[in-house]
């Protein structure tokens, strides 16, 4: 059966998470295993291929969300998903390079329920491992001989540059909550949206689709990233740690000005003023963090964030509808967008 001639139901089965995993993970394993042995071991650990002793592991290695987006978009523009297997694996490696570095920057000791790579192997080697994944991902795209190689390579290079710029920008504003919403949006568009745009645009470049299709897919990826990150910010304060995979209110603990906090601080009210005082205080107790979370909600930060996340998701779907994808692929991408933002099964 060809994925190009399927209904939405058949396509859902054809591009199931297990199929995406079985298509992309072997490529990632093969490429990572060719790295310098120490770096290969650290990267393989981070990706869940092995445990800290080097033995095979069945640990969670990520949902391969960007691969799923890319492969569905490939079907949408008339390509077999295997045509972008190399690019999908490369994008996952680039994404994971940023996760290794993020864990070090944020001093997060856990990643997917296991000690983060830097806790097991040390920060210095983990930095190098993240760099190695970044270089490997870009090299895979450059070496692939298929159509649109130059354009796709350029998109990948631009995406990783934006991610790094967004990370740097985030570090300059996390010292206080006075940054505006526009600056927050810029950081998210760089750190989160850039790789999602890359996932959606790559198949269209391979298929030689016109600029208006590329623009629609970029818009879909940009708004999807904003919807996801804003909802993720809500979950950090009020979500279930077993779902989010990180301690509740960790961003507040680090005084990282997420969207609900920024929205609450922009309100001229007694609750907003109290929140400002607590934000600049040194308190890290559970009671201190809980009070700040309560004040964010009282000031309307949670409601504003949830509403804006829904609005961005609606915008992402509107752009998706302009991308001239096949109906089945468009239907499945719509469902995937919702799962990405709302963490639905």
Q: What would the two tokens of residue 293 be?
A: 């979370």
SS3 for 110? strand
Calculate what percentage of the chain has a pLDDT beyond 90: 76
SS3 for 307? helix
Q: Please state the rounded mean pLDDT for residues 257-277.
A: 90
In this prediction, residue 195 has a pLDDT band, given cuts at 50, 70 and 90, of very high
Neighbours of 146 (CB within 10 A): 12
Please give the model's pTM, rounded to 2 decimal places: 0.93
Please name the residue ranges forming H helices in the chain.
Answer: 8-14, 17-33, 37-46, 65-76, 85-106, 117-121, 123-143, 149-173, 181-188, 194-206, 211-238, 241-244, 250-253, 259-265, 270-280, 286-298, 301-321, 327-342
Compute the distance between CA of residue 62 and CA of residue 47 in angstroms, rounded to an integer. Answer: 7
Q: What pLDDT, on the 0 to 100 scale, is given for residue 245?
A: 64
pLDDT in tens, 279-306: 888 888 999 999 999 999 999 999 999 9
Q: What pLDDT, on the 0 to 100 scale, is given for residue 1?
A: 41
Q: What would the two tokens of residue 45 be?
A: 């650990």
Q: What pLDDT, on the 0 to 100 scale, is given for residue 113?
A: 85
Mean pLDDT value across the chain: 92
Compute the distance between CA of residue 342 and CA of residue 345 in angstroms, rounded to an integer. Answer: 9
pLDDT at 154 over 90: yes
Q: Please state the rounded mean pLDDT for residues 53-60.
A: 89
Q: Please state the rounded mean pLDDT for residues 175-196.
A: 84
Q: What pLDDT, on the 0 to 100 scale, is given for residue 14?
A: 66
Q: What pLDDT, on the 0 to 100 scale, is given for residue 250?
A: 85
Q: What would the two tokens of residue 185 be?
A: 């949006």
Concatenate the DSSP letters of all residues of 132-143 into one string.
Answer: HHHHHHHHHHHH
Q: Please state the rounded mean pLDDT for residues 220-240.
A: 95
Q: Where on the phi/psi map is residue 158: left (φ > 0), alpha (ψ -120 to 50), or beta?
A: alpha
Q: Which residues of 276-292 are buried (b: 16+ CB within 10 A; e: fewer)?
A: beebeeeeeeeebbeeb
Q: Of how many residues is the chain composed?
A: 345
In this prediction, residue 15 has a pLDDT band, given cuts at 50, 70 and 90, of confident
Q: What pLDDT, on the 0 to 100 scale, is given for residue 175?
A: 46
Q: Give me the domains of the chain, ranges plus CATH numbers.
A: 3-342 (1.10.600.10)
In this prediction, residue 59 has a pLDDT band, given cuts at 50, 70 and 90, of confident
- Among the residue ranges 13-17, 114-118, 166-170, 217-221, the one predicted with the least confidence is 13-17
Q: What would the two tokens of residue 238 be?
A: 């009020």
Contact 16, 88 (CB under 8 A): no
Contact 320, 333 (CB under 8 A): yes
Concatenate the DSSP letters of all residues of 241-268 into one string.
Answer: HHHHSS-TTHHHHTT---HHHHHHHTS-
| CA gyration radius, the chain | 20
Residue 74 makes CB contacts below 8 A (sequence gap 6+) with: 80, 81, 83, 84, 203, 206, 207
């Amino acid at each position: 059966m060809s994925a190009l001639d399927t209904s939405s139901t058949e396509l859902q089965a054809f591009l199931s998470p297990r199929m995406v995993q079985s298509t992309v993970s072997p490529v990632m394993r093969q490429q990572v295993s060719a790295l310098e042995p120490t770096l290969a071991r650290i990267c393989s650990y981070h990706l869940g291929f092995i445990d800290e002793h080097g033995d095979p592991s069945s640990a969670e290695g990520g949902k391969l969300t960007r691969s799923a987006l890319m492969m569905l978009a490939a079907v949408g523009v008339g390509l077999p998903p295997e045509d972008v297997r190399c690019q999908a694996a490369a994008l996952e490696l680039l994404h994971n390079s940023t996760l290794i570095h993020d864990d070090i920057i944020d001093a997060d000791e856990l990643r997917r329920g296991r000690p983060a790579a830097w806790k097991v192997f040390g920060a210095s080697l983990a930095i190098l491992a993240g760099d190695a994944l970044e270089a490997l991902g870009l090299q895979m795209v450059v070496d692939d001989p298929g159509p649109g190689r130059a354009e796709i390579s350029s998109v990948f290079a631009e995406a990783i540059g934006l991610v790094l710029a967004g990370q740097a920008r985030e570090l300059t504003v996390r010292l206080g909550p006075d940054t505006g919403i526009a600056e927050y949006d810029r950081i998210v568009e760089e750190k989160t949206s850039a790789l999602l745009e890359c996932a959606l645009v790559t198949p269209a470049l391979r298929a030689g689709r016109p600029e208006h299709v590329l623009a629609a897919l970029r818009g879909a990826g940009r708004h999807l990233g904003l919807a996801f990150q804003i909802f993720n910010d809500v979950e950090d304060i009020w979500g279930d740690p077993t779902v989010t995979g990180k301690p509740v209110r960790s961003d507040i603990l680090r005084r990282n000005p997420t969207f609900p906090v920024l929205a609450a601080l922009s309100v001229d009210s007694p609750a907003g003023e109290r929140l400002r005082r607590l934000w600049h205080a040194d308190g890290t107790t559970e009671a201190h963090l809980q009070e700040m979370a309560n004040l964010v909600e009282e000031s309307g930060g949670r409601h504003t964030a949830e509403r804006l996340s829904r609005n961005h998701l609606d915008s992402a779907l509107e752009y998706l509808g302009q991308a001239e994808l096949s109906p089945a692929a468009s239907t499945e991408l719509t469902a995937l967008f919702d799962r990405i933002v709302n963490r639905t099964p």
